[in-house]
A and B are shown apart, each in its own frame.
Chain A
Amino acid sequence: MKRIYLPLTKDIRVKLSAGEELLLCGKLYTARDAAHKRLYEAVKSNRDLPIDLSDNVLYYCGPTPAKPGTVIGSCGPTTSSRMDKFTPVLLEKGLAATIGKGRRQKEVLQAIKKYKSVYLVAIGGAGAYLSGRIKRATVVAYKDLGPEAIYELWVEDFPVIVAVDSKGKNLFQGEI
């Protein structure tokens, strides 16, 4: 397994190949449905975004609340395809990669290739296992969304698999 230090700059991304197993170290931002809708609307109306997307990674995740004395609760990936309609616009804004589970639509696969991004998958339903890899968690935007707020996560050896690489090679059989 290859250890990757974030941010995920273009020179690192283009060397990744579909099927490779990675351990991520550094900063991720969580964002799921409701946060995506807000980010998308902000881009469309030329408003500033609450987070810098450039060379950063979005993790499709809404964690369970942290028990007292812990960093975070269970925090596995949610279904990526629900974010598909918002993803090409965010990739255009410099987003380096997304982490989720399951397949992506054709428009997303094309955008990944165009902007030399990558799509990574974490193991769905392994939320308790993954929580140990999160060292810090802070809500940085859209606090009113509760579990759908944007968290800044600092991760150590967070395991993912490259599902779609910057050349468009796709580990899943076909698109949706």
Chain B
Amino acid sequence: MRKIKDKKITELVKRLAIKANLNLRADVLDALKRALRNEESPSAKNIIKILIENSNVAKKEAIPICQDTGLAEVFCQIGQAVSIEGDITAAINEGIRLGYKDGYLRKSVVSDPLIRKNTNTNTPCVIHYDIAKGDKIKITVVPKGFGSENASSLKMLKPTDTEEEVVDFVLDTVKHAGCDACPPLVIGIGIGGTLDKAALLATQAIIQPLSRKNAKKHLALMENIILKRLNSTNIGPAGMGGKTTCLGVNILSFPTHIAGLPLCVKISCHATRSATGVI
């Protein structure tokens, strides 16, 4: 067994929380630059230029890309040959607390969804644990802004529904609330499993690079169709019209029950953030 101290985990989570909030992901920045070349409307071009400039300012001044530094979701994949010294859940939350304090990130977490008192630490974070082969721990921090989270949606489709109905639900979700979610958007889609599995897959889809080629041919085709149709809605950057409503679509799927077809559409903004590290 390889021993890993809880302190190491705290240090990594802290570093990833700050990194994710201050540095726009390279694949997202590339997608914005590509969109700037393709966009025709002068006002849409101008907004994309400002978004690119925004990521430069954030990096240079070491301030967050967006003031909504999110509710942190942490994906933690633990090698089965690892033995952890200490309390891993406490160590991850401590990393988030320190990252948000020392990185001057906004504390956006309330202790109870109904009583709504700010915890002033941005904890607790939402943690997803997974066990894998090997003797390493892989951690991904995803600061999830809620302008786009609120625009996300889930539906239990019927097993006899077609791919067209899946595409329509994604389009309806974006048309309904896309303007509010800081377009151009990044769309993560989870299909299959149970209700909660579909939601988890949709979040994992957001973390995938935008340049990723889907290995499942029918899903790769669907990603293209959704991207093309979203970019012809004329929602555009900031919802002010244009060809760039969506920067990329990633779909993840899982086997499901004969009676069901769970579908989750996770919406993320042009400041889609995540950072990964390994111990």
The residues of A with any CB-CB pair to B shorter than 8 Å are 34, 61-67, 70, 73-76, 78-82, 101-103, 121, 123-129, 131-132, 145-148, 161, 171-173
Q: Which of A74, A79, A125, A131 interacts with B270 by CB under 8 Å?
A: A125
Name the distance in Å between B144's Cβ and chain A's nearest Cβ: 13
Chain B contacts for A124, CB-based, 8 A:
147, 182, 238, 269
When C-beta atoms are compared, the residue in chain A nearest to B183 turns out to be A124
When C-beta atoms are compared, the residue in chain B nearest to A146 turns out to be B118
Contact check, A147 vs B182: say whether CB atoms are below 8 A apart. no
Contact check, B54 vs A103: say whether CB atoms are below 8 A apart. no
Q: Does B66 contact A (CB under 8 A)?
A: yes
Name the distance in Å between B63's Cβ and chain A's nearest Cβ: 5
Please report which residues of chain B, range 81-134, place their CB below 8 angstroms from some CB of chain A when the two chains form the complex. Answer: 104-108, 116, 118, 120
| 13 pairs from A and B in contact (CB 8 Å cutoff) | A62-B67, A62-B106, A62-B108, A64-B105, A65-B105, A79-B180, A123-B47, A126-B50, A127-B66, A127-B67, A128-B61, A132-B57, A172-B179
When C-beta atoms are compared, the residue in chain B nearest to A144 turns out to be B118
Chain B contacts for A66, CB-based, 8 A:
104
Q: Is the interface of A mostly helix, strand, loop or mixed?
A: loop
Contact check, B182 vs A129: say whether CB atoms are below 8 A apart. no
Chain B contacts for A121, CB-based, 8 A:
238, 240
Name the distance in Å between B44's Cβ and chain A's nearest Cβ: 11
Complex Cα spacing A152 to B51, Å = 25
Complex Cα spacing A31 to B214, Å = 43
Q: Given A126-B50, A146-B118, A101 and B182 touching (CB < 8 A)?
A: yes
Complex Cα spacing A125 to B184, Å = 10
Complex Cα spacing A137 to B182, Å = 25
Starting from the known contacts A62-B68, A103-B179, 16 additional A-B residue pairs (CB-CB under 8 Å) come to A61-B67, A65-B104, A74-B58, A74-B66, A74-B69, A74-B106, A82-B150, A102-B239, A103-B180, A103-B239, A125-B66, A125-B269, A127-B63, A129-B53, A131-B61, A171-B240
Contact check, A128 vs B57: say whether CB atoms are below 8 A apart. yes
B contact residues, total (Cβ < 8 Å):
38
The residues of B with any CB-CB pair to A shorter than 8 Å are 47, 50-51, 53-55, 57-58, 61-69, 104-108, 116, 118, 120, 147, 150, 179-182, 234, 238-240, 269-271
Chain A contacts for B57, CB-based, 8 A:
128-129, 131-132
Contact check, B179 vs A131: say whether CB atoms are below 8 A apart. no
Q: Which of B55, B105, B147 interacts with A101 by CB under 8 Å?
A: B147
Q: Which of B67, B118, B238 interacts with A63 by CB under 8 Å?
A: B67
Complex Cα spacing A61 to B147, Å = 12
Chain A contacts for B271, CB-based, 8 A:
125
Name the distance in Å between A31's Cβ and chain B's nearest Cβ: 14
**Which 7 residue pairs of A and B lie closest in terms of their CB atoms, listed nearest first?**
A102-B180, A128-B58, A124-B182, A129-B54, A74-B64, A127-B67, A74-B67
Q: Which of B53, B58, B116, B182 interacts with A34 by CB under 8 Å?
A: B116
Name the distance in Å between A155's Cβ and chain B's nearest Cβ: 15
Q: Which of A123, A127, A173 interacts with B238 by CB under 8 Å?
A: A123
Complex Cα spacing A118 to B169, Å = 33
Chain A contacts for B53, CB-based, 8 A:
129
Chain B contacts for A74, CB-based, 8 A:
58, 63-67, 69, 106
Name the distance in Å between B245's Cβ and chain A's nearest Cβ: 12
Chain B contacts for A82, CB-based, 8 A:
150
Chain A contacts for B55, CB-based, 8 A:
128
Q: Given A102-B180, A125-B270, A145-B118, A65 and B238 touching (CB < 8 A)?
A: no
Contact check, A147 vs B239: say whether CB atoms are below 8 A apart. no
Chain B contacts for A148, CB-based, 8 A:
118
Complex Cα spacing A159 to B55, Å = 17
Contact check, A126 vs B147: say whether CB atoms are below 8 A apart. no
Complex Cα spacing A145 to B180, Å = 24
Q: Given A34-B116, A101-B147, A131-B63, A125 and B182 touching (CB < 8 A)?
A: yes
